[in-house]
């Protein structure tokens, strides 16, 4: 094998190793972001339910309540 061909092969091996590390790093980042997004979605749904309860309590009409026992 010629020196030029061997040098090109070595360069390609280095690039592939770099790309492999980059893909592993990106895969880890995407997996972490996916976990965070799932947590945020659960928290959003919890807050949505809580907000619905607050809205109901704010629209509660005191005229809908039965009178106190002393009436």
- With vertex at residue 46, the alpha carbon angle to CA 54 and CA 52, rounded to the nearest 5 degrees, is 25
Question: Quick one: which H or E segment has residue 32?
Answer: helix 3-58
For residue 34 the two structure tokens come to: 């996916």
Residue identified by tokens 């092969």 is 9
| Model confidence pLDDT, tens digit, residues 19-61 | 999 999 999 999 999 999 999 999 999 999 999 988 888 887 7
pLDDT for res 4: 95
pLDDT for res 24: 98
Query: Which sequence spans correspond to the domains of the chain?
Result: 26-56
- The Cα–Cα gap between 24 and 29 comes to 9
- Is the pLDDT assigned to residue 1 strictly greater than 70? no
- Is the pLDDT assigned to residue 71 strictly greater than 70? no
């Amino acid at each position: 094998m010629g020196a030029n061909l061997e040098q090109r092969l070595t360069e390609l091996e280095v690039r592939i190793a770099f790309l492999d590390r980059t893909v592993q790093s990106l895969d880890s980042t995407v997996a972490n972001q996916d976990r965070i997004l799932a947590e945020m979605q659960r928290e959003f749904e919890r807050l949505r339910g809580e907000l619905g309860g607050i809205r109901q309590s704010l629209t509660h009409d005191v005229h809908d309540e039965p009178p106190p026992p002393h009436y």
